[in-house]
Copies of this chain bind each other. A is one copy, B any other.
Amino acid sequence: MDIRPLGDRVVIKVREEEEMTKSGIVLPGTAKEKPQEGTIVAVGSGEIVDGKKLPLEVKEGDNVIFSKYAGTEVKVGEEEYLILKQNDILAIVEK
Chain A contacts to B: CB under 8 angstroms = 2-7, 9, 11, 36, 42, 45, 48-52, 54, 57-58, 65, 67-68, 72, 74, 76, 83, 86-87, 89-95
Given A67-B72, A74-B36: A94 in contact with B6 (beta carbons within 8 A): no
A42 to B87, CA, bound (A): 18
Starting from the known contacts A4-B94, A45-B57, A76-B93, 5 additional A-B residue pairs (CB-CB under 8 Å) come to A4-B93, A65-B83, A68-B72, A72-B90, A74-B91
Please pick, from B51, B74, B87, B95, the residue contacting A49 in the complex, using a CB distance under 8 A.
Answer: B51
Give the number of times this chain occurs in the complex, counting copies. 7
- Whose C-beta in chain B lies nearest to the C-beta of A9? B90
CB-defined contacts of A6 to chain B, threshold 8 Å: 57-58, 86, 89-92
